[in-house]
Amino acid sequence: MARIFPKLICLLAILTFLIVSGESNHGFSRTLSLKSKQLKREKMSHLHFYFHDIVGGRNPTAIRVAEAPSTKTSATGFGIVTMMDDPLTERPEATSKVVGRAQGIYASASQSEVAFLMTLNFAFMEGKYNGSTLSILGRNTVFSEVREMPVVGGSGLFRFARGYALAKTNWFNITSGDAVVEYNVYVIHY
């Protein structure tokens, strides 16, 4: 007993320290306060831009990279996988200022309507957002008036981002498949 007692006191002291400091250290991880990363108040940003998806012509920005044998008989193009590097502009015109690019994949994921699985990053290239990204993972029923897709994260100025993107087709050429889509993105970040 006499030998255990000092050890118990020592253990208690360590436990108290851990609880009071609110930090635990496991070698590979530690707990930090938000203040230590200068994360103070969250704010909401609204981003507005136009997405140009060019699938036809000599300089497509979106290319088909895979499909299933049954895709040809599918009314919804079920199984088509497209890789995009689409410019994002300030105004609907293709000649307007480029503020970033939408880079990623959209894949036809429904057998009953045209609905894309969207997995992409908005890579911004303008002003203070240059180098920052937002990641989108969502469902895009392209013939609906407005489609909502979750913002699942971000980098740079958009670290810890969460929010949603609203997509509305601005212009669509049914012959070529080219489209301009208006995006309103609402994102909460620090």
Ligand X SMILES: *[C@@H]1O[C@H](CO)[C@@H](O)[C@H](O)[C@H]1NC(C)=O
Q: In whole angstroms, how close is the CB of 126 to ligand X at the nearest point?
A: 5
Helix, strand, coil share of the chain (percent; to 5)? 15, 45, 35
Q: Which is nearer to ligand X, 14 or 56 (CB)?
A: 56
- Of the candidate residues 32, 56, 93, 143, the single one contacting ligand X (CB under 6 A): 56
140, 141, 85, 151: which is closest to 118 by C-alpha? 140
- Of the candidate residues 25, 70, 111, 176, the single one contacting ligand X (CB under 6 A): 176
> CB under 6 A: which stretch of 27-35, 66-74, 123-131, 154-162 binds ligand X?
123-131
Q: Is 95 in the site for ligand X (CB under 6 A)?
A: no
> CB under 6 A: which stretch of 1-9, 122-130, 136-144, 145-153 binds ligand X?
122-130
Residue 54 to residue 172: CA distance in whole angstroms:
10
Rg of the chain over Cα atoms, rounded to whole angstroms, equals: 24
Q: Is 93 in the site for ligand X (CB under 6 A)?
A: no
User: Burial of 85 by CB count in 10 Å (0-12 exposed, 13-18 middle, 19+ buried)?
Assistant: middle
Give the interface with ligand X as residue ranges (CB under 6 A).
56, 125-126, 130-131, 173, 175-176
